[in-house]
């Protein structure tokens, strides 16, 4: 395990709209896994994983296709029980604090024909159906609650800069616009922790940079801890406090300059891996193995090094 860096939210500006419902209720790390292992269908996906996401920290979760990044988010949500080790999320057992977590699942696409507006998608994040929990949004009768919900939805739409397209059917919005609306959905309950599974996926480079900056602003603005799954660390380099890198069924955690190195990645993959730094600071990782052949998903066709974490995009 490499050195960890925890970043507190102290001293950051805290625009009211971004504040969590109860302030920094959890002074400890947002996520802590100790000697953790996950199994699916009897197969171990990763093991001996000891990592932490500090309170208010921005952490990237990297690794090749099938390395178990989404599995780690599901374990943090309590959706997949650990097969070994222990975990706390916002100071509680995984699953217990889910109402304080904003979760963006891996790439969802909306049918062109869907009539749901962007605003309706954001509103779904409030309605509690995701976790089956009621939302104590406001006291008073249903009218007052409806107004408070409406105002909060407006507020987060404004925060992510989606005002000009939130009233259109979401199927008519571009991928980048949809991502902003989905981030708004994850934010609408004022979470203390955001778990974002590939929010930069399928965005062009300017939009990757813009969404990365938006997430960083949310993190810094209100001390919301963020664990963000990505295939390319480069758009995140200006913002992240540390990375968790999954490979070969293990994890390494630490600052980028300690983790994305020849030595660390070679050890993790068990194969010679070279990290090149371009003159503009971008990192290119050369020599990573292809994703496992049994992994079938939308990435299966692009298992070349350019799709791997740390690469230039
Ligand atoms: N429901 C499932 N049943 C069987 N195997 C599964 C299931 N979900 C995931 N896996 C397997 O677990 C491993 C880790 O999957 P996971 O989705 O966590 O990877 P990932 O790192 O998120 O990959 P990607 O970059 O493609 O999203 C993969 O080998 C995958 O095939
Ligand atoms: Mg995944």
Residue minimizing CA distance to atom 6 of ligand 1: 40
Ligand number, closest to the Cα atom of 41: 1
Residue 291 resides in a domain: no
Q: Find the 194 Cα to ligand 2 centroid distance in Å.
A: 16
What atom in ligand 1 is closest to the CA of residue 106? 27
Q: What is the pTM of this model?
A: 0.82
Q: What integer pLDDT is reported at residue 10 of this predicted model? A: 33
Residue 116 resides in a domain: yes
Q: What integer pLDDT is reported at residue 131 of this predicted model? A: 40
Ligand 1 in reach of 71 Cβ (< 6 A): yes
Residue 146 resides in a domain: yes
Other beta carbons within 10 Å of 71? 18
Q: What integer pLDDT is reported at residue 162 of this predicted model? A: 94
Q: Find the 199 Cα to ligand 2 centroid distance in Å.
A: 11
Q: What integer pLDDT is reported at residue 6 of this predicted model? A: 35
Q: Find the 48 Cα to ligand 1 centroid distance in Å.
A: 18
Residue 126 resides in a domain: yes
Ligand 1 in reach of 299 Cβ (< 6 A): yes
Residue 157 resides in a domain: yes
Residue 30 resides in a domain: no
Residue 163 resides in a domain: yes
Ligand 1 in reach of 102 Cβ (< 6 A): no
What atom in ligand 1 is closest to the CA of residue 231? 25
Ligand 1 in reach of 55 Cβ (< 6 A): no
Ligand 1 in reach of 67 Cβ (< 6 A): yes
Q: What integer pLDDT is reported at residue 309 of this predicted model? A: 53
Residue 206 resides in a domain: no
What is the tally of structural domains in the chain? 1
Residue minimizing CA distance to atom 10 of ligand 1: 40
Q: What is the 3-state secondary structure (H, E, C) of the chain?
A: CCCCCCCCCCCCCCCHHHCCCCCCCCCCCCEEEEEEEEEECCEEEEEEEEEEECCCCEEEEEECCCCCHHHHHHHHCCCCCCCEEEEEECCECCCCCHHHEEEECCCCCCCCCCCCEHHHHHHHCCCCCCCCCCCCCCCCCHHHHHHHHHHHHHHHHHHCCCCCCCCCEHHHCCHHHHHHHHHHHHHCCCCCEEEEECCCCCCCHHHHHHHHHHHHHHHHHHCCEEEEECCCCHHHCCCCCEEEEEECCEEEEECHHHHCCHHHHHHHHCCCCEEEECCCCCEEEECCCCCCCCCCCCCHHHCCHHHCCCCCC
- Domain region containing 142: 111-177
Residue minimizing CA distance to atom 7 of ligand 1: 40
Q: What integer pLDDT is reported at residue 45 of this predicted model? A: 97
pLDDT tens per residue across all 313 residues of the chain: 333 333 333 333 334 455 554 444 556 899 999 999 999 999 999 999 999 999 999 999 999 899 999 999 999 999 999 999 999 999 999 999 999 999 999 977 777 778 899 999 999 998 754 443 445 554 567 788 888 889 999 999 998 999 999 999 998 888 889 989 999 999 998 899 999 999 998 788 888 998 999 999 999 998 899 999 998 899 999 999 999 999 999 999 999 999 989 889 888 888 888 888 888 888 888 887 665 544 444 443 333 333 335 443 3
């Amino acid at each position: 395990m490499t050195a960890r860096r925890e970043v507190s939210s102290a001293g950051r500006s805290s625009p009211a709209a971004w504040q969590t419902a109860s302030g920094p209720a959890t002074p400890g790390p947002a996520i802590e896994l100790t000697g953790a292992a996950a199994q699916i269908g009897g197969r171990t996906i990763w093991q001996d994983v000891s990592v932490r996401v500090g309170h208010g920290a921005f952490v990237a979760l990297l690794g090749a296709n099938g390395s178990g990044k989404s599995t780690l988010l599901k374990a943090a949500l309590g959706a997949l029980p650990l097969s070994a080790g222990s975990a706390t999320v916002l100071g509680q057992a995984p699953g217990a604090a889910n109402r304080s977590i904003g979760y963006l699942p891996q790439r969802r696409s909306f049918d062109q024909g869907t009539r749901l507006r962007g605003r309706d998608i954001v509103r779904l994040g409030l309605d509690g159906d995701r976790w089956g929990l009621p939302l104590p949004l406001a006291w008073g009768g249903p009218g007052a609650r409806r107004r408070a919900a409406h105002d909060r939805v407006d507020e987060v739409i404004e925060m992510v800069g989606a005002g000009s397209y939130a009233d259109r059917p979401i199927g008519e919005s571009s991928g980048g616009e949809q991502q902003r609306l989905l981030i708004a959905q994850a934010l609408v309950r004022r979470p203390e922790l955001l778990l974002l599974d590939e929010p930069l996926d399928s965005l062009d480079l300017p939009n990757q940079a813009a969404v990365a900056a938006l997430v960083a602003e949310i993190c810094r603005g209100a001390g919301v801890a963020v664990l963000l799954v990505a295939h390319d660390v480069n758009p995140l380099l200006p913002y992240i406090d540390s990375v968790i890198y999954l490979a070969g069924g293990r994890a390494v955690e630490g600052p980028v300059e300690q983790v994305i190195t020849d030595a660390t990645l070679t050890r993790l993959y068990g194969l010679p891996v070279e990290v090149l730094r371009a003159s503009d600071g971008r990192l290119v990782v050369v020599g990573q193995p292809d994703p496992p052949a049994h992994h079938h998903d939308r990435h299966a066709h692009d298992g070349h090094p350019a799709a791997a974490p740390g690469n230039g995009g």
